[in-house]
Structure 1
Amino acid sequence: MAAPTEARRGETGTGAEEDEAAEDDGSEDEDEAGPCPLVAVFPRDPELFSDTFRELRRFRFCGRVLRIAQHHGPRLGMAAAVWDGALALCRFFEEQHMNFRGRSVIELGAGTGIVGILAATLGGDVTLTDLPLALEQLRDNAERNAAAVAAAGGRVVVEALPWGRELGCVPRGYDVVLGADVVYEPRCFPALLDTLLQLCGPPAIAFLSCGMRPQLGTETFFQQLLPMHFCVQLLRHHQDTNVGLYRLTRRSDGCSHTQAPTAALTDCTACRQRQDALLADGTP
């Protein structure tokens, strides 16, 4: 995956990131005789002896403050971090003044859940999905932002969703499908494509934001595999992070794209109208 972007501490501009203030510093009153000598030698924080550690961050997008915990360690691996693709998608929501009120939204491979949680603070009814091992982190972050989501009239639920299988308890018929840095393992491309096909009916619109890794076939996925089933348009390419942001819609009679991959990244009036309808007022 692309390396995560570190924003300047204390920055107040778009997408600023700050250290999250500790909710409990763990301090205790000392005895009059002073601390025990062993306490002075050994730290009190048990996480220092663990193979995982939690990093708390605050992000500002769309006038919302998101509190995100990253549970670093071998168990979650890359799923623990907020990556450039996620930040690019959040900035796109801010730039486009996205309104998800009245829309059902699902995020694939959500990791920290920052993208889907932002959509929920913009009024969306959001389902965050990932492998079972990432669900604890997702639930943690959903709880940290529950007040902001409720204030916006949104909702967040967390579900396990391995790609390439039947959706199980995850329903079909979502209005919006989101994915940030989910295209990085060629062996997973068929499973990811199958899941996208199950979730994206003709009315749906998907936004995928990923670091472009030619050595891992990312461009092949967007320029050859997806266009066989979807209208694919490159909306943004961030040169500094080499992140591409794409819009996907299922092919339909009103779509101007052809089956040829060379035409896949051109604009389409029907696809653009779907995005415009999403931006309009958030009502189906």
Structure 2
Amino acid sequence: MALMPYEETAGVGLQKFHKPLATFSFANHTIQIRQDWSQLGVAAVVWDAAGLLCTYLEMGAGELRGCSAVELGAGTGLVGIVAALLGAPVTITDRKVALEFLKSNVQANLPPHIQPNAFVKELTWGQNLGSYSPGEFDLILGADIIYLEETFADLLHTLEHLCSKRSVILLTCRIRYEWDNNFLAMLERQFTVSKVHYDSEKDVHIYKVGFNL
């Protein structure tokens, strides 16, 4: 996630973002995610899109055991943590400034025998791609990373670099702005994009993206 705020429904809905801990139950584990809005803003809280993507993974969206996965814009790391608990060797990424916070959540929520399969690593979209092999991952995960128009070209370039013909991208997002649809149109010029789920209560979409879906 980018380290800046954006508009969200005001009032009661925002109170959960200012709680120091957010508790979830996935993959037969209780996960307690530390939040700190004052420190990193949107990168340090759990958005509905992350929880929905975790539920989708847990329900068997794909076989994760042994599947090489990466989470982009991980923020608190919830999605990457759940992917690791479900058996994937996972690289959990964000910008450098967010890494220590991200690492603390990953270490606090993964049992010792699973921690070696979860790597926290810097990835600034479109910039330090040389430290990642082209087509390195089977599964690319992103929760609520589509909202800053100025990041779209770099995000698309990053997806193209990380993907191979076998790769699947799962993106969850709320369509907040018209330019969010513009990014989906950009994706469709390079990939096959299909909407696989919509949660009307949370107003969150799940898109499955790949070269040959």
* TMscore range, shorter length: 0.7 to 0.9
Are residues 206 and 99 of structure 1, via their aligned partners in 2, closer, same or farther at CA, if it must alter by over 3 Å? same
The one-letter code of the counterpart of 1:57 is A
Paired residues in the alignment total 202
SS in 2 for 1:221: helix
Match of 1:91, as an amino acid? T
1:144 and 2:108 aligned:
yes
Among 13, 35, 41, the alignment partner of 1:77 is: 41
**2:22–2:46 CA contact under 8 A, matched in 1:** no
1:172-251 map, 5 Å: 172=134, 173-215=136-178, 217-222=179-184, 224-250=185-211
Measured after TM superposition, the shift of residue 112 of structure 1 is: 0.3
CA–CA separation in structure 1 for the residues paired with 2:61 and 2:193:
21
Distance in 1 (alpha carbons) for counterparts of 2:161 and 2:128: 8
Match of 1:103 among 45, 48, 67: 67
The structure with the largest alpha-carbon Rg is 1
Partner of 1:158: 120
TM-aligned CA distance change 1:67 to 1:118, over 3 Å: same
Distance 1:171 1:68 in 2: 30
Equivalence for 1:60 = 25
**2:85 counterpart of 1:133:** no
Using the size of structure 2 for normalisation, the TM-score is: 0.86
Residue-by-residue CA offset, 1:201-241 (whole Å, 9 max, x unaligned): 111101000111134x112211x110111010001111222
Q: Which amino acid aligns with 2:210?
A: T
Specify the code of the residue in structure 2 equivalent to 1:233. S
- Mapped partners of 1:97, 1:195: distance in 2: 23
Q: Which residues of structure 2 form unaligned runs of 5+? A: 1-5
CA distance in 1, matches of 2:30, 2:96: 27
**Structure 1 residue 96, shift from structure 2 partner:** 2.5
- Give the CA deviation at 1:57: 2.7
Cα shift readout 1:2-21 (whole Å, capped 9, x = no counterpart):
56xx99xxxxxxxxx9xxxx
More helix by share: 2
Aligned residue among 87, 95, 105 for 2:51: 87
The answer to whether the 8 Å contact 1:126/1:157 transfers is yes
Name the stretch that deviates more: 111-120 or 96-105. Answer: 96-105
Q: CA RMSD in A?
A: 2.4
Letter in 1 for 2:157: D
1: distance between equivalents of 2:34 and 2:133?
Answer: 27
Please tell me whether residue 168 in structure 1 is matched to residue 158 in structure 2: no
CA–CA distance in structure 2, aligned partners of residues 244 and 109 of structure 1: 17
Cα deviation for residue 105 of structure 1 reads 0.6
Asked whether the equivalents of residues 58 and 67 of structure 1 are also in contact (C-alpha less than 8 Å), the reply is: yes
Q: Is residue 161–residue 170 contact of structure 1 (8 Å, CA) maintained in 2?
A: no
Task: Give the Cα–Cα distance (whole angstroms) in 1 for the partners of residues 36 and 62 of structure 2.
Answer: 29
